[in-house]
Amino acid sequence: MNNEFQGLRYDADIDDYVVFDIETTGLENAEIIDFAALRVRERQIVDSFRTYIKPRKNIPTNVTLINGITDEMVANAPSFSEVAHDILNFFGDDILVGHYLEKFALKTLCAEMKRSIGAEIENDYIDLYNFAEKCYPAEPKNYRLKSICDFLGVNIEGSTGALLDCRLIFGCYDKAVDTFRAKWTVDNIYSEASDNFNSSVRRLKHKKNVKAMRGALSELYGKDFSDPVMRCSALLPLIKYELYIGRFEDDLKGELYGFRRDFERGLYSRMSIKDIERVKNDIDYSIDKIEKPKKKWFFF
């Protein structure tokens, strides 16, 4: 969790969310002069919200040259405090999707919200910058919005300013979701874990050497073991094996409960949300087997 924000950042694939973007008076002490948002349901845009915002000071000429917004365009626009509640209402409890959120867009919006009405933005969020980096680690030369659009072939006409960027962000994120789901699925992770697990079992002379199996799985996933969803899905085949051979270690039940807690906290990382229910069911089934040990066989 980034301490500057109330919500959590996820690298996630989701179908329902709100995309937003802003244009400002600059980078330092920025004021928002253009705000746009799109509500997405089942990967389709179903609603939009867009407003110009009148800043407290004039828009610098060099900023107008970049975003095309003039003092005349915002002369009769509402102040940020007048639209702040409308923005929060449009966000609702949705996860927010945007680009360069932590460094600029969400950071600026949070500051304006707190300054104008003393409110916090508590929504969790997905930053396309980080998400694209995860999905395409060696492809775009950088992860600026234009570079991501060029790489993914996203080109949208008919909009301007923050609204145009919202549509571009939506187009890029929606394409990246397909890449994410093809790469990070429960089936892929289970398959890799299962292959390694079975290979480890075949190499071991003493089939109850659970410690060696754990070591093999840890070596396979390396740093990814810091992710609760990856760690849980990788170790579940091993835990099932421990249950099958009747080796009930003292910390096994606690480990499973810990998995369930961490897994619920990490639902939006590493794996497709559409597939996550399978792992959750496995955790609950394994816990049930420990709590009812009289059932002799454990099938997996």
pLDDT one-digit tens code per residue, 201-231: 566 555 556 666 666 666 665 555 556 666 6
- Is the pLDDT assigned to residue 168 strictly greater than 70? yes
DSSP per position, 246-274: T---TTHHHHHHHHHHHHHHTTTBSS-HH
Go through the domains of the chain in sequence order and give each one's CATH number: 17-183 (3.30.420.10), 186-291 (no CATH)
pLDDT one-digit tens code per residue, 83-109: 999 999 999 989 999 999 988 899 999
Confidence of residue 36 (pLDDT cuts 50, 70, 90): very high
- Is the pLDDT assigned to residue 13 strictly greater than 70? yes
Residue 166 and residue 37 in contact, taking contact as beta carbons nearer than 8 Å: yes
The residue ranking higher by pLDDT, 212 or 251, is: 212
What span, in angstroms and rounded, lies between the C-alpha atoms of 187 and 275? 8
Please report the pLDDT score of residue 189 as a whole number.
Answer: 56
- Is the pLDDT assigned to residue 14 strictly greater than 70? yes
Please report the pLDDT score of residue 249 as a whole number.
Answer: 55
Confidence of residue 300 (pLDDT cuts 50, 70, 90): very low
The residue ranking higher by pLDDT, 22 or 262, is: 22
Mean pLDDT of the residues in the chain: 78
What span, in angstroms and rounded, lies between the C-alpha atoms of 224 and 230? 6
The residue ranking higher by pLDDT, 295 or 150, is: 150
- Is the pLDDT assigned to residue 269 strictly greater than 60? no
Confidence of residue 71 (pLDDT cuts 50, 70, 90): confident
